[in-house]
């Protein structure tokens, strides 16, 4: 059975992610070990909280280079929520540089009348890369669960895999580039749609091993 490493840096809801993966037949392994991340068949980088502490925790545990190496190796990689944002170069939330894997910045929603910040609850996806494996088996414009005040703004629009609209603002909420995928929403909290996304990721892992 494939091993999926879930990166532990004290910034993620690891239990929910593990339970979601177990429900779709995966074997998640929570770790902060560079060696175990390197040996894993796939990597998930979850995250809940603020940008600067997340980057600081990764650096203090010497996990930045293992994450970059895992992505460069071609193994399936999934970022979730803050785990998406820290893949970018910087954030309006803080002063720390991000990992810089995806060129772009993390921005805060603009205030507007009647708009709630953070966006907290269910919203619909608009697929920009509708044929990627992560979306297989999903209905058009599925509902997923968000909790965020900031969103990613990639320089290259082609990496955007899905958007959502909050108030009058349409923003990137998922990216996909080769083996690297990441979502602003929480698949592990998104009911059957989220479980299908996690199942699709696990299927990618198994196909990669079998290839």
Active site residues: 81, 186, 188
Which residue(s) pair with 29 in the sheet? 5
198 near 190, Cβ under 8 Å? no
CA 56, CA 99: separation in Å to the nearest integer?
11
Q: Can you read off the two tokens belonging to residue 45?
A: 């980088």
171 near 149, Cβ under 8 Å? no
Q: Can you read off the two tokens belonging to residue 128?
A: 């920009």
202 near 2, Cβ under 8 Å? yes
């Amino acid at each position: 059975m494939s091993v999926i490493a879930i990166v532990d840096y004290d910034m993620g809801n690891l239990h929910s992610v593990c339970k979601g993966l177990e429900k779709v037949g995966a074997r998640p392994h929570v770790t902060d070990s560079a060696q175990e991340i390197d040996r894993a068949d796939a990597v998930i980088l979850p995250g809940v909280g603020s940008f600067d502490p997340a980057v600081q925790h990764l650096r203090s545990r010497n996990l930045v280079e293992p994450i970059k190496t895992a992505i460069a190796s071609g193994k399936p990689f999934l970022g979730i929520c803050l785990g998406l944002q820290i893949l970018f170069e910087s954030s309006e939330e803080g002063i720390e540089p991000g990992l810089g894997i995806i060129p772009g910045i993390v921005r805060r929603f603009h205030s507007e009348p009647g708009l709630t910040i953070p966006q907290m609850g269910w919203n619909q996806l608009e697929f920009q890369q509708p044929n990627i494996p992560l979306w297989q088996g999903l209905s058009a414009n599925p509902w997923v669960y968000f909790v965020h005040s900031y969103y990613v703004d990639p320089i290259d629009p082609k990496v955007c895999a899905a958007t959502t609209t909050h108030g009058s603002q349409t923003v990137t909420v998922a990216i996909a580039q080769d083996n690297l995928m990441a979502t602003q929403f929480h698949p592990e909290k998104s009911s059957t749609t989220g479980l299908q996304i996690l199942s699709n990721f696990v299927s990618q892992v198994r196909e990669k091993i079998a290839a």
